[in-house]
Amino acid sequence: MKWDYDKLDYGYVLHRLPDGAWWHLHFARSGLEYDCQLLRGATLVLAAVQCFAAGVLAVSEQFVLTLDGEGVELPDEALLLDFDWGCKPDDSKLQADARAFQQNVMPLLHDSRDFQKAVWEIVDRQQHLRMVASDKLEPRATSAK
């Protein structure tokens, strides 16, 4: 996967379509915590993949993935996705967490076959490759990273 933007707060363009639309990958802190095999520990970060047209108009549903590449289909009120977690000037801990994610986790995701396959299944077929087990996601613990 070649991501052509390197700022966590804006996400990554995955694929540009001939009509000018693009598939976008963004990372968010969520209201859910799960044990991530890739990170070998708990996390509350999820990935979102969505297609946009000119004017940043969503032209696909939003597909949510764990960092292990498992699809998550829950209502927005359960997910509580926060896409702005890397750009809150009044919260130095969140900014540090976002920088650490960018420096330490992004290379793992870039090299993860499972994550890559899951993302491209969405881009190519607009469906999840596999779904997360229903008991894997739990409400966020205050000490999660």
The CB-based long-range contact list for 47-50 (8 Å cut-off, 24+ gap) reads 47/109, 47/115, 47/119, 48/81, 48/83, 49/14, 49/23, 49/24, 49/25, 49/119, 49/122, 49/123, 50/23, 50/24, 50/26
Residue 110 covered by a domain: yes
Cβ neighbours of residue 30 closer than 8 Å, sequence gap 6 or more: 44, 45, 46, 79, 80, 81, 82, 140
- Cα–Cα distance between 77 and 26 in angstroms, integer? 18
Residue 37 covered by a domain: yes
144 band by pLDDT with thresholds 50, 70 and 90:
very low
pTM: 0.88
What's the structural domain count of the chain? 1
10 band by pLDDT with thresholds 50, 70 and 90:
low
Residue 27 covered by a domain: yes
Predicted pLDDT at 134:
80
Residue 138 covered by a domain: no
Structure-token pair, residue 69: 């590449």
Domain that residue 60 falls in = 12-129
Residue 45 covered by a domain: yes
pLDDT digits (tens, 9 = 90+) for 25-42: 999 999 999 999 999 999
Predicted pLDDT at 141:
66
CA 101 to each of CA 14, 15, 17, 46, 49: distance values in angstroms, whole numbers, following the listed order: 19, 22, 28, 12, 18
Residue 135 covered by a domain: no
Residue 36 covered by a domain: yes
Candidates 6, 5, 27, 7; CA nearest to 16 is 5
Residue 34 covered by a domain: yes
